[in-house]
Structure 1
Amino acid sequence: MSHRRAGTTAAPAIRTLSVPSAAVHPGPTYVLLHGVGLSHRSFTRLARILSLSGRVVSFDLPGFGPTPKPDRPWSVEDYAAVVRAELARLQTGPAVVVGHSMGAQFAIELARHDPDAVSHLVLVGPVVNAAKRTLREQTVGLLRDSALEPPDTQAMVAIDYLRCGMPWFLTEAAAMRDYPTESAIAGVRHPVLVVRGENDPIADADWCASLARRAPDGRVATIPGSRHNVVHSNAAAVADAIRAFVVTPR
């Protein structure tokens, strides 16, 4: 695994983690985008599995994990732009872009504004449900989910949230709330897979189905028995769904 930390005062640091493919004949590049308050750690297990078939690139986005906080609130478009610049530097070519929670918004925005950087789009537990577009409703869903996640997933989330801090979390959660996921996805021209844990109270079945319908080429995969942080709690099933999606003809 290689690490890179880059940035200036004008453009806060992004921490890049690249895992080379372990496959004899490497497949696609997978780009993993974490959600609000989290870091690349939410994808550690998924990255390990996907690296068996292709290169994996993940990030600690500005303000999350060990990266410093920007000096102003950031929008979804800001995060997508810094990812876009880093992928151009890495010369990844068209990649399978996987976004979890708010990371799904970053993935959509990347695909809309730099379609050549994306081959397939995977939205895991996408937010924000248009029927629950308040921070209060999102907080209630998060608390309901966290209480029933597996203990190791609870620990991972708690550590990342503490590192993020409540002020920055709430600042960026407001940007998450205000991003129109349901309309933005209609501007994506790539195949889209919406993945959700069967028991996810944040990205419920109706919401995920509606996003898949709005995408020009969308479908849904449900992971039995899992919740919102399914990329960590059931990484093997998520990896299977992603790989099946990538090899399935459009």
Structure 2
Amino acid sequence: MKAAPWTFAEPWGASGWVSDLGGPVHWIDFGGEGDGAPIVFVHGLGGSHLNWALVGTALAKGRRAVALDLRGFGMTPGAPRSTSIRSNVSLVDAFIREVVGGPAVLVGNSMGGVISVLQAHNSPHSVAGLVLVDPALPPATIRPDLRVAAMFMTYMTPGIGELYMRFAQNRLSSRQLVRRMNELCFADPSRLDPKLMDASVALTDQRREIPRKEESFLGATRSLMRFLARPDRYRDIMAGLKPPVLLISGDADRLVPITLARAVAKANPHWDTAFMTDVGHTPQLETPAAVVNAVTDWLARTPTTAGK
């Protein structure tokens, strides 16, 4: 483990590190100490450790809290290494064992929710609890958001997805790329913290130097879509989870409609839920205080996560 040369999350009191876990992996530590189960934040598709900057320090009270960049995202390189769901589940497993050193509460958003679910399924002893923040969920026969459907159809088409990614990278500034992502993920993009916007632009600038990043992103996207194409298997995995679960979902999420979250909650009545009004796909960025309150309350009343 060595200190990272990047300081994107420093304004929020987080220190950066790089560990060798079958290749370099960048992660940040929000500090915190106590006997509560440590938190590992797992970002979604196109995200990074910065997705947790606004909630990390608050949730580090009474426990350690860390956020990693999955393979192919943030400052963790991807290609030629695989960025598939399976590869990133293996990365999270190694991170829990070698960096955290014991059972953790996984807090996963979007694709990170899927990865967290699979880690809890594969190695239930490594997960003290799961917080799923607008996780990618099994599809249903509802009308999708047309912009989202067109975007993912483009990503899934060999050759076309690569051309589209290169076109966007070449034609749009880093600020435009960040703004476009926020417009997709937020119910109200004006809620974005300006300081976080600047940090995200700086990270996007730095990522332009990473080779084959488009290949890494599309590899992860296509792997996620293939997994979601087996909804019955995914539902069975969720139904069999051993650790306690808190499901948080925004009711204005265009990527994962609230109807899917409500269906999953109904199928798993032992889960705790927090549905947030007029919030999009990344509540931890759009309404961070509400997310901190929901998670803090759940941690305090969940025996496996609360500590002694």
Structure 1 residue matching 2:220: 3-state secondary structure: helix
Cα 1:26–1:85 change in 2 (3 A) is same
CA distance in 2, matches of 1:122, 1:138: 29
How many residues align? The count is 245
**Cα distance per residue 1:3-30 (max 9 Å; x no partner):** 331237xx332212222216xx553311
**Aligned partners of 1:138 and 1:17: how far apart in 2?**
34
Contact 1:49–1:236 (8 Å) recurs in 2: no
Determine the structure 1 residue equivalent to 2:165: none
Helix, strand or coil for the counterpart of 1:150? Answer: helix
- Are positions 1:206 and 2:259 aligned together? yes
Deviation at 1:76, TM superposition (A): 1.4
Partner of 1:222: 275
Distance 1:157 1:199 in 2: 23
Which of 139, 153, 160 pairs up with 2:151?
139
1:62 paired residue among 71, 91, 94: 71
Mean CA deviation greater in 227-236 or 87-96? 87-96
Q: Give the partner amino acid of 1:149.
A: P
Secondary structure at the residue paired with 2:53?
Answer: helix
Task: Specify which of 156, 171, 174 is matched with residue 219 of structure 2.
Answer: 171
- The verdict on how the C-alpha distance between 1:220 and 1:158 changes in structure 2, with shifts beyond 3 A counting, is farther
1:43 to 43, 52, 55: 52
Check the 8 A contact 2:148/2:254 in 1, yes or no: no
Structure 1 residue 129 displacement after superposition: 4.3
User: Normalising by the residue count of structure 1, what TM-score does the alignment of the two structures yield?
Assistant: 0.83
Q: CA RMSD in A?
A: 3.0
- Tell me, which stretches of 5 or more residues in structure 2 are unaligned? 1-13, 153-180, 229-233, 304-308
> Alpha-carbon deviation of 1:160?
6.0
Q: Is 2:192 the counterpart of 1:152?
A: yes
Distance 2:24 2:66 in 1: 16
Q: How far apart, in 1, do the equivalents of 2:136 and 2:37 lie?
A: 26
- What pairs with 1:1-250 in structure 2 (closer than 5 Å)? 1-7=14-20, 11-21=22-32, 26-131=35-140, 137=149, 139=151, 144-145=184-185, 148-150=188-190, 152=192, 155=197, 163=207, 165-180=213-228, 181-215=234-268, 217-248=270-301
Aligned residue identity for 1:65: G
Q: State how far apart, in whole Å, the 2-side matches of 1:148 and 1:39 are.
A: 21
**Unmatched 5+ stretches in structure 1:** none
Q: How far apart are the structure 2 equivalents of 1:139 and 1:182? A: 25
- Structure 1 residues 109 and 54, CA, compared in 2 at 3 Å: closer, same or farther? same
Question: For the Cα contact (< 8 Å) 1:35–1:101, is it kept in 2?
Answer: yes
Rounded to whole Å, the distance in 2 between the matches of 1:224 and 1:135 is 22
**Offset from partner CA, 1:131-165 (integer Å, 9 cap, x none):** 26x9952737x765458423636947677677385
TM-score (norm 2): 0.69
C-alpha contact 2:45 2:112 (8 A) present in aligned 1: yes
Q: Distance in 2 between matches of 1:169 and 1:128?
A: 19
Contact 1:138 1:202 in 2 (8 A): no
Q: Which amino acid aligns with 1:200?
A: D
